[in-house]
Structure 1
């Protein structure tokens, strides 16, 4: 009897929930922004805290798992993740949620890499690739499914249930866990942990992410941003030098002697970067810019999630039959076409181009990720196989960290720029009004409350900004019409180089009609 058949579903549930929480809250950010009265840039830290802590502790926790027992470690991680989910759901402000998300990510860092090692240990040579494909594939699928599931849950139960939904599923997993995996008399290893290397990796990821996120706000040439980037780029070579000298490093540098592993590593960073871009950018864009409900946005994103699922499954079956370079090359080609369509899409008529781009991205991601995950372990056995999976998990998170940092910054910047331009245009139109100073002041306050780029207020507007209007007397309206009509006729006369009196009566009548409709 193959034990992996019973263990794998338990491991898959933990992996699915942990990775889903990387992206599930992207679609409810506007609701949380309203509830907490925070800016979108500040809220992006609820995503960044999760991914940064997650990536930073994956490898050290892998060593701790060897010391205390892998099964017990994953079981404890599930409990911590459930507690973090519960605390995230009851959060009343951003600070509380950041702590809760940090707790969640610690649990996830205990679950993800160790689950992979447990699965590999219970697999034989024939089904090892299937185990890797299943666990790694469900991680990518979870990131893709996150916004869709988050949209459905938030629409009917509210944004807090995006986190609460984890708790009953984890409880079920905890009940089944001891039935398939022993928590007693586990084999353990006493190996020292490279805490200096762990600290350097945390400093590197934190500095890089913070610099990317706050660069536009603090200024790309400001001393603090330049200092953050310098810290990140100095930490990397120091980390590499340290790992080469240690007998038991946090990362075994022999991994990078394998061309398969190097190619897989680059592919994993890039494909997860592009996957993260879609998962982070499009839900917020649809809900905040295009006024879609969470459910509407979830439905539009669902084809992308389904495409990831089927692509990962099919690619895992074909990876031994088709050249790996061809699969990865085709995958990145589809991802490139997808991003070209996303960059040039026009959603004013319909969402067909978005759906096509989403499907292409999902298929492309599945081709790259499924192939790269199998290539990452192709050349290794024993302890170095465990190390390869830990590093591969870190690289996936690096791609997600970069995606969240860069795409959230781009989105926030573009929204702020659009709001500022609209605000400037509105103010110029108000100044041109032939009206009282009090009315102009009232209109200016109105548009500032809606469009001020520094405001944390979130208003879903589809189409245009609407005012209730200001009441004026009929005599005042007639005077405004007459003044505007004379202005328009003078412009026509100047353009055509003829006196106002020479303008045809039919044209004068049309101008008066247009002016009357707009005043």
Structure 2
């Protein structure tokens, strides 16, 4: 059997590519929306379908890999993922992209859980914690790096290369794969597959993921969402009852008798939830509220990606030397502190607070994720090891999906409130304008359309609040000039004591020219004055909206500060025995 040092880089590359595509699209959605000319709501399915299908097939694929052969299964997954990446980049409409993203996610579900088991099985017990930390760490790093790399690639090569770039890397991995991992005569599990349990797990995870992701847009109390949650709950109950009675279940339920596994599972859900809170909101916050380019926004969140990587590496090296209670506790405390900084930061002039908070979050995530991943597998070998990895990967995805549901719901409500407050503010500002009632109504109507709280665009940009300058038509000026001319002509006729018809043509011509010039100057002057007033009000409204949106985004973290500290209650669940890590 090949040494782990030859196998690990191949597994790491596959994991990196698969997990990066969970988040890499977030930064290029506006470009794809422009190219496909579809609504952002419909386009969001390109993100949702990847997450849902990936989470849905992890458990059955973990068992299927044992039946086919793990090495073959991951190799097949790389091929499927590469094809999906190529098709995604080449997509010309939304339907084709959704199909391609589904293919991508099926390949990722082949690769992720099984590659972890391969790494663990060919390593010795002493190095197990390093293998877990490396693979889990690169997964967290990939999710964090996704928006950064996506922004950089799209800036210079276009959004299609965000997906095309996977293809040569997958080909490289496929070429090296047979040199390190044999696909001949590998051991296989002869037990039958629990297809009914597989079906229940697919229904459960699909319903749960779809319900959480679409709850905010469909309505949490809607029939569709309630139906999905009921379906997920019933499927879970049936799955548990079935698995307890089978000789070869899809998931060995005795996993949950391990305190380490239970505590690690909850910790993985929580830390990925908190990581998702950064990855989901901050890129949109920087680009839509503060007007940063995708590339600059990507660079600003890069320190948090680097912090994840460094934290995971250091944690894996010291996990046997430092009490694990300290590592996990410190991780959650750092995450809570980073959320406090995010909630209270002022980035009107600089991004120092954001960078510090991002680094703290990355370090905190690494401390929790690396330690929890090691403890999750510490008690298991063989098929139980496969099951533990399948469940652990599902729980990571559940954490990310929960982040989408919770953070986007809170953010959406906050933005609705921000828009309503700005509308109220704008009414007072427009009322104070020296404009005719009709013009005031037109300005207010335009603002209501721009700031409608029911607008489906979650991150309405403050830069979208614009108003065309007032322009008086030539016909209107001519009517005004004619009216003033006739009035002046009457005055002239009375002054020289002749009827209007007897006023000399030369006088009429001079009068008409003078009146026309005077009216044009007055109208122009008044238009400049009114446009200046309107522009001043619009600028004030834009500034007010920016402040309100800024508060709306940061308030999300303020409402979540308590949860990382509450997460410390998971610590007593662990059985922190040194023996399980040796």
What is the TM-score when the length of structure 2 is the normalising length? 0.77
**Residues 419 and 390 of structure 1, relative CA distance in 2, 3 Å threshold:** same
Counterpart mapping for 1:96-495 below 5 A: 96-419=96-419, 421-422=421-422, 426=426, 435=435, 443=443, 447=447, 450-452=450-452, 461=461, 465-471=465-471, 475=522
Q: CA deviation at 1:334?
A: 0.7
Deviations 1:313-357 (A, max 9, x none): 000001000111110011011111111222233322322221111
Q: CA deviation at 1:23?
A: 1.1
**Residues 434 and 247 of structure 1, relative CA distance in 2, 3 Å threshold:** same
Structure 2 equivalent of residue 94 of structure 1: 94
- Number of aligned residue pairs: give it: 490
**Residues 516 and 299 of structure 1, relative CA distance in 2, 3 Å threshold:** closer
Deviations 1:23-62 (A, max 9, x none): 1111222322333344444333322211221111112112
- In 1, the alpha carbon distance for the partners of 2:535 and 2:418 equals 30
- In 1, the alpha carbon distance for the partners of 2:134 and 2:48 equals 26
- In 1, the alpha carbon distance for the partners of 2:32 and 2:454 equals 17
- In 1, the alpha carbon distance for the partners of 2:191 and 2:427 equals 66
- In 2, the alpha carbon distance for the partners of 1:314 and 1:482 equals 64
- In 2, the alpha carbon distance for the partners of 1:368 and 1:462 equals 37
Supply the RMSD in Å over aligned alpha carbons.
3.1
**Residues 337 and 21 of structure 1, relative CA distance in 2, 3 Å threshold:** same
Whether contact under 8 Å (1:334, 1:360) holds in the other structure is: yes
Q: CA deviation at 1:395?
A: 1.1
**Residues 452 and 92 of structure 1, relative CA distance in 2, 3 Å threshold:** farther
> More deviation in 468-477 or 132-141?
468-477
- In 1, the alpha carbon distance for the partners of 2:18 and 2:201 equals 21
Deviations 1:382-423 (A, max 9, x none): 221222122111111111121223323444444455445545
Structure 2 equivalent of residue 27 of structure 1: 27
Q: Name the SS for the 1:58 alignment partner.
A: helix
Q: Which runs of 5+ in 2 are unaligned?
A: 473-519, 539-582
Q: Name the SS for the 1:245 alignment partner.
A: coil
Q: CA deviation at 1:169?
A: 0.5
Structure 2 equivalent of residue 492 of structure 1: none
Q: Which runs of 5+ in 1 are unaligned?
A: 484-512
- Return structure 1 stretches of 4+ with deviation > 6 angstroms: 456-460, 477-483, 513-519
- In 2, the alpha carbon distance for the partners of 1:184 and 1:334 equals 47
Whether contact under 8 Å (2:471, 2:527) holds in the other structure is: no
**Residues 517 and 19 of structure 1, relative CA distance in 2, 3 Å threshold:** closer
Q: CA deviation at 1:232?
A: 2.6
> More deviation in 314-323 or 152-161?
152-161
